[in-house]
A and B are shown apart, each in its own frame.
Chain A
Amino acid sequence: MKHGLSNLFRHRVLIQSLVTRELKARYRGSVGGYLWSFLNPLLLLLVYTIVFTTVFTPPRAEGADVDPYTVFLFCGLLPWTWFSASLTDAANSLIAGGNLIKKLIFPAEILPIVSVLANGIHYLLGLPVYLIAWFIFKPTGLSVHILWLPLVIFTQMILSLGLGLILAALAVHFRDIRDILANTLTLWFFLTPIIYSRAFIQGLADADNATWVPRVVARVLDLNPMTHIMDGYHLSIFEGSLINWKRLPVTLGVAFLLLIVGYWFFDRLRDSFPEEV
C-alpha cells in the first residue's frame, strides 16, 4: 500500500496528463467543445425540472424541505452523475487501455484513477451551472457551510476510487461486470436520496402508522455510503447547515477501508491484466 502510494506520487505527472488528455479528447471534434461540460448539466436540469414540476409532483413530507425541487434535485444529481460515470468508466478502463498495459511498462491502477478524476473535473465544471440555477430559483445567499463541500467531494472520490479499482480488476476477468454494473447503478440511484431527501424516508419510517416497507428502506439507506455523501451535499449546499458529524466521517472511514481493500485486490490480480485484456 505504501509502495503503491509513492508509486502514484511518482506518476502524478502522468495522471495529470492522462486526465487532461481524457478531457481534451472527449470534446475534440465537437463544435461546442468545453461548452458541453456546462450544456450537459443544464439540459439535464431542464429535463428533470419539467418532469418533476409539471408532469409528476413527488409527495412531500413534514420536516423535509425540498423546495425549490429543481435545485434540490440537481444538488444530488450532479455528484451522482460523477459517481456512476466514474464507476462505469473505471470498470471499462483496463479493457479500453489494454494497449498501455500490454505494451508499456505502465502502472495499471492509473487507468481507473484517471476515470474517477476526469469525471470529477466534469462535476466541478458543472457546479457553476448549479449556482446559476440556485440564484434563479432560490434567490438567497449561500451558507458558510458550503465550506464543507470539499470534504464531501473528497469522501466521494475515495469511495469511487476504491470501488473503481475493484471493478476494473474484476471486469478484466469477467466482462459481465460491465452489464451487471449498469443495472446495479440504476437500482442504486433509487436507493440513494437524490430524487427524495433522506429526511423524507426517515419521516415515513418514524411515522406512527409506518408499515415495514419504509422502515426497511430507511435501514437500507443507512447502510448505503452514498446516502451519507448525498446527505452531505444536501446539507452543505442546499440546506446550508452543518454536515452530519457522525455519519460523514464514518463514511469516509469506510471509503478509505474500501480503497485499501480495493488496492490490495487490484494488486493481487495485477499480473494477470496484460494477458487478459
Chain B
Amino acid sequence: MATPVVRVDNVVKQYRKAAHAHRFLTLKSAIVGGNLFKALSPSEVFTALDGVSLDIARGETLGVIGSNGAGKSTLLKMIAGTAKPTTGKVTVDGKISALIELGAGFHPEISGRENVFINGIMLGLTRREVADRFDDIVSFAELEDFIDAPVKTYSSGMYMRLGFSVAIHIDPEVLLIDEVLAVGDEAFVHKCLDKIAEFKRRGKTILLVSHGLESVRRLCDRVIWIKDGSIEASGDPPRIIDAYLEWVALKEEGELAAGYERRSATAEIGTAADAPGAGGQPPVGDHSEGADGGESASAEGAGEPDGAGEPTCSGAASNEAPYESGRWGSQQVLIEQVRLLDAEGAQHYVFACGDPMTIELTLQANQEVDDFAVGIGVFNTDGVLCYGTNTDIERFEAAKLHGTATVRMEIPALNLIQGTYYLDLAVHRVDGYPYDYQRGLTRFRTTSRIADSGIVRLPHRWSFAGGIEWKKTPETDAKPTPVHKADREQP
C-alpha cells in the first residue's frame, strides 16, 4: 500500500462546555488573581474525538459516516488544520484544500474578481497562480457576467459556486469535503461530483464526510464510521454502510419503542362523547375539528352507510391539519397491547420496505359484546391514509367478543416507501361507535436503500430488450440486503 498522506495519530479533541456567563466571572478573577491562562483552561469538557487513529493512503478516497455529533466534522477540522487536537498528532503531507465552508472569507462589499484573488491567496496560492487559473475558476462557477459585481449582490447559489470553484482550483493533494454536496442545485452537484471523480482519477486523496450514503458508496474506496468520537468500524463501503444503517435502525427502534410507552401511558381514554367525531358517530375524517370530515380518511368507514366498502385517501392530504394522536371510546372493549412483529415473531418498530409485518392486538372485553369490528389504518406523516381496512369491510360477521382475544393482521410484504407511519387501531361497533380508538399511538418506520417516491412500492421488476445497455445494474452492485435480516435482539 502507498505511503500515508494523512496520518492521524491517537487524536483526542475536547471542547470546553462552560457557558458564556461563566466567563464574565472569570475576567475579574483572571485579572485579580493573575491566572489568566488557568482561567481560560477548560474546566468542564466535552470530548468530541476520543483517541482516533487513521492513515489515509495517497490516492485513496475515504468516506466518513456517522450520526450528527459523532465527531466527523471535528475530525475533518483537525486534518484541515483549522482546529488543533487536544492531544495526539495530525500530519498531512502536501497541500490540502477543505471544502468545508464554501466562500468563507469572501468580503461582501468587493467584487467577485477581487474576492477570488484574496480567497485564492488565503488558500495558499500566489497572486500569479490565481491569475493563471482565474478564467477556469470563473467559468467553472458560471459567473462570467457577474464577476465584477460585489459579492453581496450574488445569490447564495452563485456565492457557493464561486467558493467551490476557488477551493477546487487550488489543486490540492488532499481534498476535504464536508457535506457540501448536500447543497446546491442538481446540475451543480453533478458538476461537483464530476470534478471529484476527476480528482480521484488523477490520484489525489479525498476525504468525504457525508450523510449521503449513496454518494459515499459510489465514490469511496474505504469508509470509516465514527460513533461517539471514535472509529466504530472501518473498511469496505457496502459492509460499513450496512453496519451503520443497522445501528441507525436499532437506535430508531429504541426511540420508537420509548415513544410508544410514553404515548400510551399518557393518552387518556376519552369517552365516546369526547371523540372528535363526537356523539357516538363514527370517528371518521376527524383529523382537525370541522375539517372536511367524512369520506376520506378513516379505516372505520364501516359506519358510513354507503362509503363503507371503499375507504380512500384521495384529497386527504391537501388540507389536513397535522396528525393528532389520541385515544377515545366507551371502554367496553380495550386494546390492551399492540405489537408489531417481524416474520420470526420478534417485536420491532423499524421494518425494511418489502419485509413482512404482523400487527398484533390484544383485546380485553370488559363486557361481552356481539356487535364489533376491528379496524386498522396506516397513515404517513402527511396524514395521508395509505391503507385502511376493518373486519366488517372484509365481510367478517361478528358473533361474540368476550374475555381476552388476540387479533393478528399479517402483511406478507410491507411495501411502504421509506418513512414514518402512524397506526389508527380501533375496536368499534359496526356502525362506527368506538369501544376503543387509538389514533397515532403506534408508530413504525420503514427503511429502504432505494430512494423511490410516492406512498407504496408497487411490486415490480425491470426487464429490457433491444438496443438498451447499462454500465451498471443493481445486480452487479452490492445487493441491497434488507436491514432487517440482521440480528437485532430488542428494540
Q: Do A and B come from one complex?
A: yes
In the complex the two chains form, what is the Cα distance from A272 to B150 in whole Å? 33
Residues of A within 8 A of B105 (CB): 99-100, 103-104, 106
Chain B residues with a Cβ closer than 8 Å to the other chain, count: 31
B121 touches A103 (CB 8 A): no
A14-B104 contact, Cβ under 8 Å, with A24-B114, A173-B40: no
Q: Considering residues A104, A105, A176, A271, which has the most beta carbons from chain B within 10 angstroms of its beta carbon? A: A104
A254 at the interface (CB under 8 A from B): no
In the complex the two chains form, what is the Cα distance from A174 to B28 in whole Å? 10
Residue among B104, B118, B126, B150 making CB contact with A103, cutoff 8 Å: B104
Residues of B within 8 A of A268 (CB): 37
Residues of A within 8 A of B93 (CB): none
Within the complex, the shortest CB–CB distance from A263 to chain B, in Å, comes to 16
Residues of B within 8 A of A102 (CB): 82, 101, 104
Residues of B within 8 A of A104 (CB): 82, 98, 104-105, 122-123
B121 touches A17 (CB 8 A): yes
Interface of A: prevailing SS: helix
In the complex the two chains form, what is the Cα distance from A106 to B15 in whole Å? 20
A121 at the interface (CB under 8 A from B): no
- Annotate B20-33 by CB proximity to A: 1 below 8 A, 0 otherwise: 00011001000000
B84 touches A17 (CB 8 A): no
B206 at the interface (CB under 8 A from A): no
A21 touches B114 (CB 8 A): yes
A103-B82 contact, Cβ under 8 Å, with A14-B122, A18-B118: yes
Residues of B within 8 A of A21 (CB): 107, 110, 114, 118
- Annotate B72-94 by CB proximity to A: 1 below 8 A, 0 otherwise: 00000100111110000000000
Residues of A within 8 A of B107 (CB): 21, 25
Residues of A within 8 A of B40 (CB): 173, 269, 272
A179 at the interface (CB under 8 A from B): no
In the complex the two chains form, what is the Cα distance from A101 to B83 in whole Å? 9
Taking beta carbons and an 8 Å cutoff, which residues of B are in contact with A? 15-16, 23-24, 27, 37, 40, 77, 80-84, 96, 98, 100-101, 104-105, 107, 109-110, 114, 117-118, 121-123, 126-127, 150
Taking beta carbons and an 8 Å cutoff, which residues of A are in contact with B? 13-14, 17-18, 21, 24-25, 28-29, 99-106, 173-174, 176, 268-269, 271-272, 274-275
7 A-B pairs within 8 Å (CB atoms) are namely A21-B114, A24-B109, A28-B110, A103-B104, A103-B105, A104-B98, A176-B24
